[in-house]
Amino acid sequence: MIAAGAIIVLVLAVFGWFQLRDRIANQGIQAAETCVEGQLTLPVTVDPDISTQVTDLAAEFTATRPVVRDHCVAVAVTAADSAQVAGALTAADPSWDQQTLGPAPALWIPRSSDTLVGLPAGTVAGTPRSIAQSPVVLASPIAVTSAMRDAGTGWADLPGLQGAPDGLDVLGLPGWGGLRLQLPIGPSSDSTAAALAAVAESTSGTPMTPEDVRRGSTVSAMSALGSTDHDRSAVVTDSTETALARLSADISPTADFHSVPTTEQQLAATFADSGISAYAPTGSAPIADYPAAILSGRWTDETLSRAAAQFVDFVGLPENRAHFTDAGFETADAPPDAPTTSADTARALIDAVRNPATPRRATILLDVSGSMDTVEGGRSRLQNTTAALRQQFEAVTDSSELGLWVYSNALDAQRPFREEVSTGPVSEALPSGTRRSQLSAALDALRPSTATSTYESVTATYIDAVENFAPGVPNSVILVTDGPNDDPSISSERFLSVLASSSKPDRPVSIDVVSIGTNSDIGTLQSMSDMTGGSVTTVNTSDGPELPDLLRKLLY
């Protein structure tokens, strides 16, 4: 009887435990369903390109009554330009302009992973997941698209096609002129930077950094893209959509523009029957991949982060892909090695096409007297100056002509000057490499000497520049010195007189002076520059940013 009673008690206890467990579970479910922690709004900011699709999915997700940590979640979507959002996230003192950008997001879906490059560490939690993508292409009249496709035109070919009066003739389109690529840089125009990066990377063979943008081959390519064969700037401060509308309004051979970078999806969705079509040049493969970036730190909290992750999972469900594919997007994950371009690099590329370099012929006459051994900022003036010159030698266009002369006293037998590298195209092949590399090598070998025979050296350099004048481009002698002439064999009056008699009106060569520190000869140098249409600029020291900036202006 005791055993039977114990069994009965045990059965009742087990039965009661299951009842209690089910009751507790039901209470938990009921509590969750009633959102004991209340309603939670998940703020999501998306690029306008994809806002319709994400907004529709947000409504469907909210309708499922998702619960995260006892909060009922509703998704609120705001469309905002990706570049503006990136700027707010990267600001030194981050502040969020709700009037312009809407609520600060917990989830951000920009147009491209490029936009995420360079964000402060900790801004994004985990690895963003691409929810859709579309290749960056060129939109052009169908005739131009077909010609480029037949020719296998690559990104690296675009600079040569852009400004040449017969650029499209080589593609079988006589009478069309150059490519006339239009480059919008207004709101929602990320395709422009992606296309420029593709040109630069296809030209150089390597991914771009801001420093790489300043190299000669890239400067040449960007400068060539900067203007059309009509001598019109290719850069317009419009959105891509506005540029496409202008292009579609005139697809004739005489139109001001023949091509605009865009995404394949944008072109198909908005201008499907406009007479323009898409072509993806060979080489680099830029894409807009719309990564879902869950923000962290000051921008969100743990509950919002979990809600954002759930929404991203929902968006990525196979049954939801039709939202994107029906609108012309692709939904495969972006390639892991897809090229990315930082915001700094994009700005440098756009600056390079907005301010194209001017091909020129310039001979640098560099003072290597003893005073150039003065130490400034841990290095001598000569070392600082050669470093600044080397930077500019690397940056000038391939079509520029440069040369290097140095002067002091008795550098070449009895002559105070010496021609280190003859003036000519920097890309020209010489026995020891290109002239560009030879210029850099010559700078490395320079050492300070003794006196400063400025007048005789300037006269010889100027006469050589006039005799070898290159028509059609600016011609100049750039004198870099840190002290007065100390050669008594020629007076300043005699120097200016010889210089005047050596000039030729039909061969204008300016003399631009870069004077480092105090120079008691500045009056004569100013008269010399005024006579030849040049300039005189004094920099207080050789180790600051003023010297390389000035040389860039004179050589760019």
For residues 296 and 283, membership in a common domain is answered with no
Instruction: Evaluate whether 124 touches 115 at the Cβ level (below 8 Å).
Output: no
Give the per-residue pLDDT at 18. 55
Give how many domains the chain has, as a whole number: 3
pLDDT recorded at residue 200: 92
Question: Are 39 and 164 found together in one domain?
Answer: no
In a domain, 335, yes or no: no
Q: Looking at the structure, tell me whether residues 253 and 297 fall in a common domain.
A: no
Closest alpha carbon to 554 in 538, 534, 539: 534
Q: Are 141 and 275 in contact (CB under 8 A)?
A: yes
Confidence category of residue 21, pLDDT binned at 50, 70, 90: low
Percent above pLDDT 90 for the chain:
70
Q: Quick check: 250 pLDDT over 60?
A: yes
Task: Select from 288, 315, 347 the last residue of a domain.
Answer: 288
Q: What is the pLDDT of residue 299?
A: 76
410-443 burial: b if 16+ Cβ within 10 Å, else e:
ebeeeebbbbbbbbbbbbeeeeeebbbebbbebb
CATH code assigned at 171: 3.40.190
Task: Please tell me the predicted confidence (pLDDT) of residue 7.
Answer: 72
Instruction: Give tens-digit pLDDT for 28-78.
Output: 444 445 688 899 999 999 999 999 999 999 999 999 999 999 999 999 999
* Phi, psi (degrees; rounded to nearest 5) at 98: -65, -30
My answer on whether 441 and 541 are in the same domain is yes
Q: Is 11 part of any domain?
A: no
Domain endpoint, select from 232, 260, 288? 288
50 and 167 in a common domain: no
User: Which three-class secondary structure state does DSSP give residue 433?
Assistant: strand
In a domain, 336, yes or no: no
The verdict on 474 and 549 lying in the same domain is yes
| C-alpha closest to that of 478 among 344, 341, 367 | 367
Residue 17 one-letter amino acid: W
Cα separation, 408 vs 404, in Å, equals: 14
Evaluate whether 185 touches 240 at the Cβ level (below 8 Å).
no
Higher pLDDT, 22 or 346: 346
Same domain, 83 and 142: no
Task: Give CA–CA dist 453/483, Å, rounded.
Answer: 10
> CA-to-CA distance for 248 and 180, rounded, in angstroms?
14
CA 470 – CA 309 distance, rounded (Å): 64
Q: What φ, ψ does residue 233 adopt, rounded to 5°?
A: -65, 135
Determine the structural domain holding residue 315 and report its residue range: 29-131+290-325
pLDDT at 114 over 50: yes
Model confidence at 402, in pLDDT bands (50, 70, 90)? very high
pLDDT digits over 440-473, tens only?
A: 999 999 999 999 999 999 999 999 999 999 999 9
Judgement on whether residues 52 and 76 belong to the same structural domain of the protein: yes
Residue 27 has pLDDT above 50, yes or no: no
Does residue 204 sit in the same domain as residue 105?
A: no
Question: 211-225: string of b/e by CB count within 10 Å (b at 16+)?
Answer: ebbbbbbbbbbbbbb
- Name the β-bridge partners of 538: 515
Rounded distance, CA 269 to CA 263, Å?
Answer: 10
| Residue 382 domain flag | yes
pLDDT recorded at residue 17: 54
Average per-residue pLDDT for the chain: 90
- Find the CATH number of the domain harbouring 405: 3.40.50.410
Last residue of a domain, one of 271, 303, 325: 325
Q: Which of 14-18, 258-262, 279-283, 392-396 has the lowest mean pLDDT?
A: 14-18
CA distance 105 to 121: 17
Asked if the model's pLDDT at residue 26 lies above 50, the reply is: no
| 333 assigned to some structural domain | no
* Furthest C-alpha separation in the chain: 137
Residues 274, 245, single domain; the answer is yes
Which H helix or E strand runs over 252? none
pLDDT at position 444, please?
95
| Residue 344 lies inside a defined structural domain of this protein | no
Lowest mean pLDDT: which of 338-347, 435-444, 478-487? 338-347
Is 453 in the same domain as 475?
yes
* pLDDT on residue 19: 61
Three-state secondary-structure class, residue 135: strand
pLDDT in tens, 480-536: 999 999 999 999 999 999 999 999 999 999 999 999 999 999 999 999 999 999 999
CA neighbor of 192 nearest in space, from 249, 243, 128, 122: 243
352 class by beta-carbon count within 10 Å (0-12 exposed, 13-18 middle, 19+ buried): buried
In a domain, 331, yes or no: no
What predicted TM-score, i.e. pTM, was given to this entire model?
0.74
**What's the chain's length in residues?**
556
CATH code at 94? 3.40.190.10
Using alpha carbons, select from 539, 511, 508 the residue that is nearest to residue 525: 511
Looking at residue 336, its pLDDT comes to 46
113 with 140, same domain?
A: no
- The C-alpha atoms of residue 103 and residue 277 are separated, in whole angstroms, by 37
Does 514 reside within a domain?
A: yes
C-beta contacts of 344-348 below 8 A and 24+ residues apart: 344/118, 344/210, 345/197, 345/208, 345/209, 345/210, 345/212, 345/213, 346/114, 346/193, 346/196, 346/197, 347/210, 348/210, 348/213, 348/214
The C-alpha atoms of residue 277 and residue 267 are separated, in whole angstroms, by 8
